[in-house]
Chain A
Amino acid sequence: MSTLNDCKKACKVKVIKLNAPADLKQRLISFGIMKETLIEVLEYAPAKSTIEVKVGKMRIALRAKEAELIEVEKV
């Protein structure tokens, strides 16, 4: 099992499951991150604390800790 946080820069993955608590999950969903969504990792902030990903046409910043809650598989 791998999470979004394990992905390297420029890798493309598909979401399998969101393990986030309810309101974070809601927020991720409203950003378009749900099952089957394709995500691409764009950039890392210093020390990999925060990552920028691309979902559809939208760029989203999230922390490594939140990225860990998103279960993904390679495509």
Chain B
Amino acid sequence: MNQEDIKACPVIANHIKIALVGQPNVGKSMLINSVSNAHLHVGNFSGVTVDKTEVLFDYKDYHFTVVDLPGTYAFTDYTIEERVTHDYLCAEAYDLIINVVDSTSLEKNLQLTAELMSMSKSIVIALNMDDEAQKENIQIDAPYMSELMGIPCVKVSAATKSGIENLLDAVISVKEQEIQEAKLIFSEPVEEEIAVIVRYLRKHKYKAVNSYRNIAINLLKNNKKTYAKLHDDPIWTELQPILIEAAKHVELHHDSDDIKEAFAEEYASFNRGIVAEVVKQEITLEEKTLTEKIDSVLINSYFGIPIFLFFMWGLFQLTFEIGSIPMDWIDAFFGWAGDTIGPTIANDDIRSLVVDGLIAGVGAVVLFVPNIIILFIGIALLESTGYMSRVAFLLDGFFHKFGMHGQSFIPLVTGFGCSIPAYMSARILKNDRDRLLTLFIIGFMSCGARLPVYVLFAGAFFAPEMAGNILFIIYISGAILGLIAAKILKLTAFKGADEPFVMEMPKYRLPSIKLIWHTVLTKTMMYLKKAGTFIAAASILIWFLSNYPHNLLLENEYADKIEKVATEEEKTVLKNKLAEQLLEQSYLGVIGKFSEPIFEPLGFDWKMSVALQTGLAAKEVVVSTLGVLYALGDDVDEENSSLINAISKNISFASAIAFIVVIMIYLPCLAASIVFTREAGHIKYFFYLFGFTSIAAYSLAFIAYNVASFLSH
């Protein structure tokens, strides 16, 4: 056990460790957020949480540790995230389970509950979404339900935070009691067989921790663990024929040769019974629910996809239009900061470090915060309204043609924000091949950190009213390239049969402003924090590499020349020339010059080559590198010194297009590459990714450069 684990579960008397289990999208993560001050990721689709997270908080005299687990429909290990849950429940130590269920869809949710009931663990049922149930006129008799099931059932709402204390009180009282046998009742044939097995176990005084009934149920269900345990026991020889007989009897009753299916039916009829007893729903006259009405428009076979494309287009228009308003202020602010702070520093080198290194580098990244915020809001809306699953539905047929799975859409969209969570969320894909394929494609979805580069170049080379469209085109063509790449990979590296596509479509929900605000704020703060730390450090490093070594010879030579010329204009020209030459012989200049031949066919000067290379650390560094390099290079005495102007002055249109293409495709940043390698499971995949993206980026940029050069002539 490492240090952190010890901190996470202090061994004290009144400590309660809870595993939070439930089907996907029932509000587990939100429930934790509402009892503690955690901010777990919440979203309105299945598979938001893909890894376990522990959250600590205190209530009354108890220290609680709640473990948020990925949602699971049943104990089938269908996908990796479901396996995470199953493994946790079977192998880890915890005191009890809170089974979160969606009150508005009780019957389906209880299916998992029934499976949990045969685990011999204490359970408390949280009847979540009580607010929605009330709106839909669903009345649940919680005390009666508790009595029928032998499990405390508490109504809660994670959204309105009602009933939370009752839930925690119920947890405490369950913890104080002995484990109670849950009352799971089966059909007559199954009950008969259970009785036979129990009688047998009792006769032989079989020693076990679990009750005989529990063992009998697990044996009948073909539970591997129970089987293995009894298999080595002397009573097995006699027990085995009994079990075979019993299984036959049950299967006959269910007219199926699949004992799992038979038990699913058993559970379903038990649940139907419970629901019939405890749930009262006033019949509403409305034929169609609101969700169905919205669906009939949004996923209409004709309008669905155009509507989606329109939303996307709108988002990028807004990103550019609204984003550019505060951008001017931010630009002005950093310009002002440089002009004000600059003169107060006497030492030339330090002044240059602060103004040209730190302020130019960080400023170039912070400049794009407004754009990033709008993009994040868009993604947050997509995630929290329920539209995400609809788009996956709409695009599945299309994706399928390219060898991808419709559900890949979810990690791919996440990738527009940041590749790291996207790599993680690829876990919702069942099949390893599909998952790997998706991992390879995620990089084609341009992450938020790449947005600044696009905005910069779109702003520099296109009229403002076109720039939004250009952004849209960049993102769409990135996605299309991704699909083509997927097709190629599917035909070569990841050959194999198609996986089935079955996915739950959640209800549409109006996202709370607070939730959106919070998600966007957290992500934006992360971006700013990165600008203030990592990017600032990188900018300083780049400044050093581009300022040293000093070349006194060159400086003196130019000082003489500048002395000799008469007019101010000539002096400026010479000064600019000096700066340029100094930059070229700096460390970074040497590196850039060294790699220039490689990038020459794409039309990149050495500054662009360097920016691409530093961008491997983090994509934001691309703009900060350009910021530093162009701030140092030539804006001595320049009237209009903004980066956008420098770019449009120094870079040709064709080179700019090629540069955008490389940024769209080449290797994701360092942190993302690490996560990629971890999720893919082997270092070799990293090299594949590196080779694949490099070749694709280089050749497509080459084509783009030549086509653009040709067209602009």
Decide if B260 touches A26 in the complex (CB within 8 Å).
Answer: yes
Decide if A46 touches B502 in the complex (CB within 8 Å).
Answer: no
Q: Is B240 an interface residue (CB 8 A)?
A: no
Known: A58-B504, A60-B505. A46 touches B304 (CB 8 A): yes
Within 8 A of A (CB), among B81-112: 104-105, 107-108, 111-112
Q: Closest A-chain residue to B395, C-beta based?
A: A45
Known: A59-B291, A60-B502. A32 touches B111 (CB 8 A): yes
* B127 vs chain A, min Cβ distance (A): 15
Q: Closest A-chain residue to B503, C-beta based?
A: A61
Known: A27-B73, A52-B299. A61 touches B393 (CB 8 A): yes
Within 8 A of B (CB), among A29-52: 29-32, 34-35, 42-50, 52
Decide if B78 touches A50 in the complex (CB within 8 Å).
Answer: no
Question: Among the interface residues B112, B393, B502, which one has the most CB atoms of the partner chain A within 10 A?
Answer: B502
Q: Is B2 an interface residue (CB 8 A)?
A: no
Q: Closest B-chain residue to A54, C-beta based?
A: B292
Within the complex, which residue of A25, A30, A46, A59 is in contact with B301, where a contact is CB–CB below 8 Å?
A46
Question: Among the interface residues A18, A46, A48, which one has the most CB atoms of the partner chain B within 10 A?
Answer: A46
Question: Among the interface residues B108, B111, B500, which one has the most CB atoms of the partner chain A within 10 A?
Answer: B500
Decide if B265 touches A35 in the complex (CB within 8 Å).
Answer: yes
Q: Closest A-chain residue to B300, C-beta based?
A: A43
Question: Among the interface residues A28, A31, A50, which one has the most CB atoms of the partner chain B within 10 A?
Answer: A50
Within the complex, which residue of A22, A57, A60 is in contact with B104, where a contact is CB–CB below 8 Å?
A57
Within the complex, which residue of B78, B291, B296, B406 is in contact with A23, where a contact is CB–CB below 8 Å?
B78
Q: Is B400 an interface residue (CB 8 A)?
A: yes
Q: Is A66 an interface residue (CB 8 A)?
A: yes
Decide if B504 touches A46 in the complex (CB within 8 Å).
Answer: no
Decide if A45 touches B108 in the complex (CB within 8 Å).
Answer: no
Q: Closest A-chain residue to B115, C-beta based?
A: A30
Within the complex, which residue of A24, A32, A49, A52 is in contact with B295, where a contact is CB–CB below 8 Å?
A52
Q: Is A74 an interface residue (CB 8 A)?
A: no
Decide if B400 touches A63 in the complex (CB within 8 Å).
Answer: yes
Known: A24-B502, A28-B502, A61-B503. A34 touches B265 (CB 8 A): yes
Q: Is A65 an interface residue (CB 8 A)?
A: yes
* A51 vs chain B, min Cβ distance (A): 9
Q: Is A62 an interface residue (CB 8 A)?
A: yes
Q: With the chains together, A49 CA to B112 CA distance in Å?
A: 30
- Residues of the B chain whose Cβ atoms lie less than 8 Å from the Cβ of A30: 73-74, 76, 111-112, 264
Decide if A61 touches B261 in the complex (CB within 8 Å).
Answer: no
Q: Closest A-chain residue to B275, C-beta based?
A: A56
Q: Closest B-chain residue to A50, C-beta based?
A: B396
Decide if A45 touches B299 in the complex (CB within 8 Å).
Answer: yes
- Residues of the A chain whose Cβ atoms lie less than 8 Å from the Cβ of B305: 46
Decide if B260 touches A56 in the complex (CB within 8 Å).
Answer: no
Chain A: interface size category: 35 or more
- Residues of the B chain whose Cβ atoms lie less than 8 Å from the Cβ of A57: 104-105, 108
Q: With the chains together, A59 CA to B104 CA distance in Å?
A: 13
Q: How does the 8 Å CB contact mask read for B298-317 relative to A, with 1 for contact and 0 for none?
A: 01111011000000000000
Q: Closest A-chain residue to B291, C-beta based?
A: A59
Q: With the chains together, A62 CA to B397 CA distance in Å?
A: 11
* B272 vs chain A, min Cβ distance (A): 10
* B338 vs chain A, min Cβ distance (A): 53
Within 8 A of A (CB), among B296-352: 296, 299-302, 304-305
Within the complex, which residue of B74, B498, B501 is in contact with A50, where a contact is CB–CB below 8 Å?
B501
Decide if B76 touches A63 in the complex (CB within 8 Å).
Answer: no
- Residues of the A chain whose Cβ atoms lie less than 8 Å from the Cβ of B104: 57
* A23 vs chain B, min Cβ distance (A): 7
Known: A24-B500, A31-B504, A56-B105. A47 touches B261 (CB 8 A): no
* B295 vs chain A, min Cβ distance (A): 6
Q: With the chains together, A57 CA to B295 CA distance in Å?
A: 15
Decide if A42 touches B295 in the complex (CB within 8 Å).
Answer: yes
Decide if B74 touches A66 in the complex (CB within 8 Å).
Answer: no
Q: Is B389 an interface residue (CB 8 A)?
A: yes
- Residues of the A chain whose Cβ atoms lie less than 8 Å from the Cβ of B301: 43-48
Known: A30-B264, A43-B299. A61 touches B501 (CB 8 A): yes
Q: Closest A-chain residue to B104, C-beta based?
A: A57
- Residues of the B chain whose Cβ atoms lie less than 8 Å from the Cβ of A62: 500-503
Decide if A60 touches B107 in the complex (CB within 8 Å).
Answer: no
* A52 vs chain B, min Cβ distance (A): 6
Decide if B268 touches A34 in the complex (CB within 8 Å).
Answer: yes
- Residues of the A chain whose Cβ atoms lie less than 8 Å from the Cβ of B260: 26, 29
Decide if A59 touches B107 in the complex (CB within 8 Å).
Answer: no
- Residues of the A chain whose Cβ atoms lie less than 8 Å from the Cβ of B292: 42, 54, 59
- Residues of the A chain whose Cβ atoms lie less than 8 Å from the Cβ of B503: 60-62
* A10 vs chain B, min Cβ distance (A): 10
Q: With the chains together, A55 CA to B73 CA distance in Å?
A: 15
Q: With the chains together, A46 CA to B398 CA distance in Å?
A: 9
- Residues of the B chain whose Cβ atoms lie less than 8 Å from the Cβ of A50: 393, 396-397, 406, 501
Q: With the chains together, A2 CA to B74 CA distance in Å?
A: 28
Within 8 A of A (CB), among B239-288: 256, 258, 260-261, 264-265, 268
Decide if A52 touches B393 in the complex (CB within 8 Å).
Answer: yes
- Residues of the B chain whose Cβ atoms lie less than 8 Å from the Cβ of A59: 291-292, 295, 504-505
- Residues of the A chain whose Cβ atoms lie less than 8 Å from the Cβ of B393: 45, 50, 52, 61
- Residues of the B chain whose Cβ atoms lie less than 8 Å from the Cβ of A22: 258
Q: With the chains together, A63 CA to B398 CA distance in Å?
A: 12
Q: Is B394 an interface residue (CB 8 A)?
A: yes
- Residues of the B chain whose Cβ atoms lie less than 8 Å from the Cβ of A43: 295-296, 299-301
- Residues of the A chain whose Cβ atoms lie less than 8 Å from the Cβ of B392: 61
- Residues of the B chain whose Cβ atoms lie less than 8 Å from the Cβ of A42: 292, 295-296
Within the complex, which residue of A52, A58, A61 is in contact with B108, where a contact is CB–CB below 8 Å?
A58
Known: A24-B500, A56-B108, A63-B396. 15 other contacts (CB 8 A): A27-B74, A29-B260, A30-B74, A30-B111, A31-B502, A32-B107, A43-B299, A45-B299, A46-B305, A49-B400, A52-B393, A60-B504, A61-B501, A62-B502, A65-B500
Q: List 19 A-B contacts (CB under 8 A).
A: A24-B502, A26-B76, A26-B260, A27-B74, A30-B73, A31-B502, A34-B264, A34-B268, A42-B292, A42-B296, A43-B295, A45-B394, A46-B397, A50-B406, A56-B107, A58-B108, A59-B505, A62-B503, A63-B502
Which residues of B does A touch, CB under 8 Å? 73-74, 76, 78, 104-105, 107-108, 111-112, 256, 258, 260-261, 264-265, 268, 291-292, 295-296, 299-302, 304-305, 389, 392-394, 396-398, 400, 406, 498, 500-505
User: Which 9 A-B residue pairs are closest in the complex by CB-CB distance?
Assistant: A49-B397, A30-B74, A30-B73, A59-B505, A29-B264, A61-B393, A63-B501, A26-B76, A50-B396
